[in-house]
Amino acid sequence: MKLITTTEALEEFCAQAHAAPYVTIDTEFLRERTYYSKLCLLQMALPGPDGPEGGPAVLVDPLAEGLSLASFYAMLRDESTVKVLHAARQDLEIFYIEGRTLPRPLFDTQIAAMVCGFGDQIGYETLVRKLAKGRIDKSSRFTDWSRRPLTEAQLRYALADVTHLRVIYEKLAATLAANGRAPWVAEELATLADPATYVTAPQEAWMRIKTRNASGRFLAIVRELAAFREEYAQSRNVPRSRVFKDDALLELASVRPRGSEDLSRTRLLLREARKGEIAQGIIAAVQRGLECPPEALPELPGIRENLNVNPALADLLRVLLKAKSDSTGVAARLIASAADLDALAAGLRDVPALAGWRAEVFGADALRLCDGAVGLAVRGERVEVIALGP
């Protein structure tokens, strides 16, 4: 087990990675006390000369004094080496925020597994058991990865996240080559390869707030409060919840405080947020929401109440989706979301389920079902699509 703590040692490993067909990568990080994730450990492994196992595997300590990750980010940009991760989004966010780099080419084993019949958002531990015939020691799962020194058990646990991944990658890649679905995975990875995925624009932060209040004025205040909170949290690298939580934000949008006295009566607001910069920001955000012109008031995106959904058709589409998922082995939630089905049942056609590989698997028959050109029939334990006469 090799722990890299110097720039020179990292450069030496990355030079080996440049010559390898792929490198498996994982990270350990903390985010409980910051807005941006703090990278605490980086794990990488290369295949051996005779197969996936036996190649070099290392742990990199990014907290080591004087260590530069420049060679690592250069390796991520090397298009001759595939970068393999599992459930990569959070890892990629770290790479983009800290190094302004996203790996290419990229392979996400969780997405590949969902396309290859392993179900919805399958965990790494399950893939280790099913494909690598191994097991993960869970004893270090809740480690504070920022504390030093790390124990041998912690290091072994972290390294297992990339050593088993070599076998998993090679087996999934072989399956995709055999079933012709590699382009499907590539479509899904396009979102992960887009830098916009990892940038939260303050003016769009309100769309993550869960509310069923569709009042335009209420939503305008929510939008301004969420934008202020996002800007404040980003600029000081503190969690959003340390500024104020979502329930407090919604309460503020309802009571519309005009001054510090109103804030003091807000039940859910933290004491620290009732004074100083946060309090001033809240009051100003509420005022901006109140002054928003009627034509600029926001609307809730795509809620069911705004759609004239045909409930019977929506139910049929759900049956069709399950049948397609069962027959192809592709996870249903990857093919189409509940919002997609409701939109189709309401007559909308600009939905993800009708584009790319999803159209081939589900969308084409879904449109024919909506148009009355096909129906569904039960054949034993299977549901089949049948053509209907004129």
> pLDDT: is 220 or 308 the higher one?
220
- My answer on whether 218 and 242 are in the same domain is yes
- My answer on whether 383 and 287 are in the same domain is no
Do the Cβ atoms of 336 and 342 come closer than 8 Å? no
Place of tokens 């009708």: 354
- My answer on whether 150 and 59 are in the same domain is yes
The domain boundary residue, chosen from 272, 296, 320: 296
Among 36, 40, 37, 105, residue whose Cα is nearest residue 69: 40
Please return the burial class of 130, using the count of CB atoms within 10 Å of its CB with bins 0-12, 13-18 and 19+.
middle
Place of tokens 């295949």: 47
Q: What is the pLDDT, as a whole number, of residue 139?
A: 73
Q: Identify the DSSP state of 81.
A: S
- Which tens digit of pLDDT belongs to each residue from 27-65? 999 998 999 999 999 999 999 987 788 899 999 999 999
Q: Identify the DSSP state of 378.
A: E
pLDDT bracket for residue 304 (50, 70, 90): very low
* Domain containing residue 254: CATH number: 1.10.150.80
- My answer on whether 37 and 132 are in the same domain is yes
- My answer on whether 121 and 149 are in the same domain is yes
- My answer on whether 191 and 219 are in the same domain is no
Number of CB atoms found within 10 A of residue 236's CB: 12
Do the Cβ atoms of 79 and 15 come closer than 8 Å? no
* Residue 235 C-beta-side C-alpha neighbours within 13 Å: 10
Across 145-152, average pLDDT = 94
What is the number of domains present in the chain? 3
Distance CA 279, CA 275 (A): 5
Return the bridge partners of 260, or none. Answer: none
Query: Which of 183-187, 211-215, 248-252 comes out lowest in average pLDDT?
Result: 211-215
The domain boundary residue, chosen from 164, 198, 232: 198
Residue type, 65: E
- My answer on whether 259 and 169 are in the same domain is no
Query: Does pLDDT of 302 surpass 60?
Result: no
Identify the sign of the CA torsion 384, 387, 389, 390. Answer: positive
Distance CA 283, CA 262 (A): 10
Number of CB atoms found within 10 A of residue 121's CB: 13
Query: Does pLDDT of 241 surpass 60?
Result: yes
Q: What is the pLDDT, as a whole number, of residue 390?
A: 66
Percent of the chain, pLDDT > 90?
85
Mean pLDDT, rounded, of the chain: 93
Query: Does pLDDT of 324 surpass 80?
Result: yes
> pLDDT: is 312 or 143 the higher one?
312
Across 186-199, average pLDDT = 94
- My answer on whether 71 and 219 are in the same domain is no
- My answer on whether 164 and 121 are in the same domain is yes
- My answer on whether 189 and 209 are in the same domain is no
Radius of gyration from C-alpha coordinates of the chain: 25
The per-residue b/e assignment along 241-277, b for 16 or more CB within 10 angstroms, e otherwise, is: ebbbbbebbbbbbeeebeeeebbeebeebeeebbeee
> pLDDT: is 195 or 271 the higher one?
195
- My answer on whether 222 and 85 are in the same domain is no
- My answer on whether 346 and 272 are in the same domain is no
Place of tokens 């393999």: 84
Q: What is the pLDDT, as a whole number, of residue 255?
A: 94
Residue type, 11: E
Domain containing residue 265: 202-296
- Which tens digit of pLDDT belongs to each residue from 80-129? 999 999 999 999 999 999 999 999 999 999 999 999 999 887 899 999 99
> 217: helix, coil or strand?
helix
Distance CA 109, CA 22 (A): 13
Across 1-23, average pLDDT = 96
